[in-house]
Structure 1
Amino acid sequence: MRQFIKPWRHVFKLDPDRELGDRELEAVCQSGTDAILVGGSTGVTYSNTVSLLARIRKYNLPCALEVSDLEAAVPGFDLYMIPMVLNTPDTSWILGQHRRAIERFGSLIPWDLLLAEGYIVLNEDSSVARLTGADCSLSAEGAAAYAQIADKLMNLPVVYLEYSGSFGDMETVREVREMVGHSQLFYGGGVTGASEAVQAAALCDTVVVGNIIYRDLEQALLTVQAVKSTPQLEREQWL
């Protein structure tokens, strides 16, 4: 599944627990984005996830589920992205929840459709930080060290820098970028328009745009072309 996500430069993230009208959803799905990622930190249920998936399936683009709650593990997605929050002392968000999922679902798990994400959560005021108890006081070097654990020790296909709700420190993002050699580097958080989108796209493989969809759809749509027209800086292929 690494090859499945490789072309993704821009991704819109939709929260099943938030309202989005049919016209707005059509604009998002026909914007030229590379994929739709469904997920959220709170309020995600089987029912609202099924409902959102059914609406997205009217459009011809990849749709992935970021599994944050076992109750919302809905069949029918093209891909299931499994977060592992690396910078938390609570191991249930690294391996514990995952073990429980395997015990519960066993042979029903579509292993060939799963992709693990090494999450580094860096906004202490975000819902995901509060939920997981993530240590968001990391220096740039500390964040880069976690990224190398994901990239080199764990060989995870995705390193995800999560600033959910605020725009990230681009020097930290740059430091992480220089240390990631094989994983696809995702960025999410605080992209409110083309300017932030360009900054993130220059340093990261994939830019995820979420909250602004619900506050200013016009600005959200501008991020698609902004990301796709931004060349990436060359990345050292560390061994």
Structure 2
Amino acid sequence: MNEWKHIFKLDPAKEISDEALDAVCESGTDAVIVGGTDDVTLDGVLDLLSRIRRHTVPCILEISNVESVTPGFDYYFIPMVMNSQDKKWMMDVQHEAIKTFKPMMNWEEIMMEGYCILNEDAKAFTHTNCLMPDEDDVLTYAYMAERMFRLPIFYMEYSGTYGDPGLVERVSNELDETLLVYGGGIITPEQAQEMKTYADIVVVGNSLYTNLKQALKTVKAVQGMS
């Protein structure tokens, strides 16, 4: 995973044709994440999993609720929403998941994510009762993710809106070991390249459903970058 550069994110609550899904999985992306905020069900997750498994691309479940967790994924990402105002999203839902699944958890397949949601209009921002952080807050969250919690991933989530490359750069300078993942609003190959200049991994999601052809071009745009 340390060498990954690009990930596509699929929402189990959204429709995607077999043809489009095949194009995503065969695009050369380093992995595919299954995850979303609203209406994530076990049936939806299983449907996407079975279709993705026709291909060799690594498949990740980003856990949004305990009810939709299922075996069969290569990795499981567990978000800790660092700018949530509720302890629930930093500790309680994770406690519930571990309490339920502890006997079958393989920590070589599990990655904890320090999530920072940076779009006030995003459903995830409202759902997790986030407070909009200023720049110093974001840098501090990144520092905490690496130095205090030793998290493998710090995820800057703009959720449908293209973020601030300057802030992504400053966060990148704050991190040494923790991987910086950027997601949000990437539509064009040029945007993917701009964010990949600073982030270790860029995630492309919404544009798969609005402009598939452009979204697919983001893979090659970042794969050749150092």
Structure 1 residue 230: Cα displacement: 2.8
Structure 1 residue 126: Cα displacement: 0.5
TM-score (norm. length: structure 2)? 0.97
Q: 2:69 aligns with which of 66, 69, 73?
A: 73
- Residue 162 of structure 1 pairs with residue 172 of structure 2: no
Aligned twin of 2:55:
59
Q: 2:42 aligns with which of 43, 46, 54?
A: 46
Distance 2:60 2:67 in 1: 16
Q: Alpha-carbon deviations, 1:22-45, whole Å to 9, x = none?
A: 110111111110100110011111
For structure 2, the 5+ residue unaligned runs are: none
Q: Alpha-carbon deviations, 1:26-68, whole Å to 9, x = none?
A: 1111111010011001111111101100000000110010001
Aligned twin of 2:142:
147
TM-score (norm. length: structure 1)? 0.92
Contact 1:140 1:176 survives alignment (8 Å): no
Distance 2:83 2:170 in 1: 16
Number of equivalent positions:
226
Aligned twin of 1:16:
12
Structure 1 residue 88: Cα displacement: 1.1
SS of structure 2 residue aligned to 1:203: coil
Percent of aligned positions with the same letter in both sequences? 41
- Residue 225 of structure 1 pairs with residue 220 of structure 2: yes
SS of structure 1 residue aligned to 2:121: coil
Amino acid at match of 1:162: E
Runs of 4+ with >6 A deviation = none
Q: 2:171 aligns with which of 171, 176, 180?
A: 176
Aligned twin of 1:123:
119
SS of structure 2 residue aligned to 1:24: helix
Aligned twin of 1:134:
130
